[in-house]
Structure 1
Amino acid sequence: MEKEELFKKRMLELSKKSYYRGILTYSDFLDLNEQNILHSLSFSDTGVQVLLFGGYETAERQMAAFVSDAFCCKEDYPIACIKISPLNRKFSDTLTHRDYLGSILNLGIERCKIGDILVEEDGAFVFCHTSMVDFLIDEICRIKHTPVKAERITEENQLPTPKREEISGTVASPRLDSVIGLAFRTSRSSMISYIESGKVFINGKSVVSNGYVLKEGDIVSVRGKGKFQFHSVTSKTKKNRSHVILYKYC
């Protein structure tokens, strides 16, 4: 059985378990491709609602919660956040997302147990399955050549807030290909291959149409480039071009 079919079978099993037992069930962290497959499935015959969350607003990697109609309590995703910080910032390496992820996976942890990793100047915030917290805190002591410490974030006000850069400009129209070109400061034509090859996701769903018209609040993720939130069309120019505002995640 192909990987995609196995994934579909697993999601349907979780939905049925939620329905027949009247409990909440959760997936592991899902990447954008898996979220897209999930969106294509119908759960109408199992009587469950599927909700996605990744530990913070606009997270890319998210868990799916399967909520039975019989369940009336608030979903409590098994997601935790740990902060990894250098023991001595003065002598630490400049660490990237790849460095943090590589060190974590080298411990033998499956990628599906790790959510987003937000890198900041003084370290990184790692979202993970709650079952991984103690292991990560005990085992992560070095990233590349930099000695580090890991600690769990327990207060909501300590959680990271993704940084965003406001970008504004004029485009021919609020079509996907035009706005992506503005977001990543490149030509519209150079982004068409990303769209047609299935590397562009809007709100977790794959979009392969260049002519998709973006709506206010849409989250656009482009594999290998980054992501942004489309804000609005603010006005029209004399040449009938659209002035738009969007927020690119740093």
Structure 2
Amino acid sequence: PNAGKPELVDELQSKYSESGNIQVETIQRCFPYPLDTFQIDAVRSLVEKKSVIVSAPTGSGKTVCGEAAVYLGLALGKKVLYTTPLKALSNQKYSDFCKQFGEERVGLLTGDVSLNRENATVIVLTTEVYRNMLYDKESGTVSDVHSVILDEFHYMNDRDRGTVWEECVIHSPSDVLLVALSATMQNVVEIRDWFEFVHGQTTLITSDFRPVPLRFKYVDHKGLTDLFDSKPNKKGLPRLNRRLLPTSFSDAGGREKRSYES
């Protein structure tokens, strides 16, 4: 996680809130580590006033793209909205942002909780709350907004809740930059084209690099066992570890578990 430096925002605002002439390198320096190529590409698109869709595996650093949008929006003296699909995620992000950007700048809206709504320039909220604001023209929350980060955007593929993300894209003001952060999806090119049709110019950024590999294990009374053999089957697909077939599934007494070790 990024180290908290609320005073950095003051410095950015004093230099760029009036001129608006901010460079990619300026946003890069907000982070205490070098950014990866796909993160720099996202920052560049945002500086060029383009919306961004970032599709990359879990743990690859998509959140940095959202944080970069926050730094950019604050530097320009505007508000930023950061949406998540769950109240728990919103609460965690609110806590992180209070340390990173300063408690007085950050607000939280989750339906049953409202913190610092009037004064905050960074508002963390659930996606449904943002959708409802778009229909409530008198709320004023979406005025003077630089960007809206749609975290966990792959929820758009959810059968029950996906329409909420669609409505957010369709009804967001055209001058607001959208930053959609998603795990890998099959149809991201079509989604990018749809973004451009209903909202505006959008850059698609993808990465298949997984810095935290997934390892599949089976847990029983004997401990951890590899779920799959090291060699795939003739079709190139993972092959179940043969040592598990005769004993492990029955030894567990119907209480078998599958764990993911990283």
Determine which structure has greater relative contact order: mean sequence separation of CA pairs < 8 Å that are 6+ residues apart, divided by chain length: 2
Question: Fold match, TM over 0.5?
Answer: no
Q: Which has the larger radius of gyration?
A: 2
Q: Which TM-score tier does this pair reach, normalised by the shorter chain?
A: under 0.3
Compute the TM-score of the two structures, normalised by the length of structure 1.
Answer: 0.23
Compute the TM-score of the two structures, normalised by the length of structure 2.
Answer: 0.22
Q: Which has the higher helix share?
A: 2
